Amino acid sequence: MKKVVLSALAAIAFSTASYAADMKMVTKAPMAPPPSPWDLAFGAGIMNDYIFRGVTQSNHKGSVAAYFEPRYNINANLQAYVGIAGESISFPNRAAGEIDLYAGIRPTFGALALDFGYWYYYYPGGQCFGGCPGIAALPNGNFAKADASFWEVYAKGTWTVNDQWALGFNVFATPNFLQLGADGQYVSGTVKYTAPTSAALWNSVGWYVSGELGQQFLGSSDAFYGTGIVGNPFRFSVPYKDYTTWNVGVGFTYKVFTLDLRYSDTDMSESECNIFTSDHTAGGPTVANTTLSNPGGLGSKWCGAAFVAKLSFDMTLGALK
């Protein structure tokens, strides 16, 4: 009987061992690491004219631009960012270029995306013309400070109505626009229509139509840009014109590339434009452009109608992974 029991136990043990050996090892798959809250946006572009709020910054000549923007996603609805950008320019003071330093936050509330921040426009390498001891004015008689750098605070927003339509607003404010001595506020509204995928052009090229209507409010200059003429009411300060600007254009997109074709204009006269910009290429003098605030009679075309073609690419590091 004892032998029978031992034999039965041995058979059971052997059977159990054989069954265990046939079983596959089951282990829990490791959890995927959470996505990094950090991202990086960057891009560059080339254009035939650099227009800023309706006014050329490149003397209606070609310009190149680039930017680099680290981002941190605090949560799904709040992003913090800093950035640096640069553009080639042609200023009256012969500044070497424009360098932009900026930072802000982007909260999102459903279809409404907001953006609040600080922007510093730095123009290194400028020279003083006129109004400086022992230094002559520009060849056409205009004055220019060596430093045109300034800062603004801003609030922007975009409401995505649906997959095709988006409406936006922009508000910028500074106590000293372009070091002119005048405070400045800029407000604008935007609208954009993006064609649905089904309406894509050849080879999956997307397209959109967009426009902006803006108003630049400006105060009066400091004494540097006054007329300097004894008895002239604007001897120590010249009032700048508040002006309206608008642009409308069409864009074509392919992967990370965008070709934007745009018309831009303002309601400033050539005389008012010369007062505002101190354009070193301003022509004249003419009787029509001669006023108490513009006694030299020069006229600038920097604020007039312009057509801008820009080819750019924009991408993020996250999209490359």
Short-list 247, 243, 298, CA closest to 268: 243
Confidence of residue 203 (pLDDT cuts 50, 70, 90): confident
Query: Are the beta carbons of 240 and 226 closer than 8 angstroms?
Result: no
Q: Residue 252 corresponds to which amino acid? A: F
Short-list 111, 89, 110, 109, CA closest to 98: 89
Confidence of residue 35 (pLDDT cuts 50, 70, 90): confident
Q: Mean pLDDT across the stretch 39-68?
A: 98
Domains of the chain: 33-320 (2.40.160.160)
DSSP-derived letter for residue 293 is S
Phi, psi of 17 (to 5 degrees): -65, -40
For residues 92 and 90, what is the distance between their CA atoms, to the nearest angstrom? Answer: 7
Query: Are the beta carbons of 90 and 126 closer than 8 angstroms?
Result: no
Residues in a beta bridge with 153 = 118, 173
Confidence of residue 13 (pLDDT cuts 50, 70, 90): very low
Q: Mean pLDDT across the stretch 90-99?
A: 98
Short-list 188, 184, 158, CA closest to 173: 184
Model pTM score: 0.89
Q: Residue 313 corresponds to which amino acid? A: F
Mean pLDDT of the chain: 92
Q: In which residue are the tokens 């509330």 written? A: 109
Q: Mean pLDDT across the stretch 53-62?
A: 98
Reading the block at residue 213, the tokens are 């209507």
For residues 321 and 315, what is the distance between their CA atoms, to the nearest angstrom? Answer: 12
Query: Are the beta carbons of 275 and 238 closer than 8 angstroms?
Result: yes
For residues 189 and 210, what is the distance between their CA atoms, to the nearest angstrom? Answer: 11
Query: Are the beta carbons of 211 and 247 closer than 8 angstroms?
Result: yes
Has residue 5 got a pLDDT over 70? no
C-beta atoms surrounding 162 within 10 Å: 9
Question: Which residue would you say has higher pLDDT here, 185 or 33?
Answer: 185
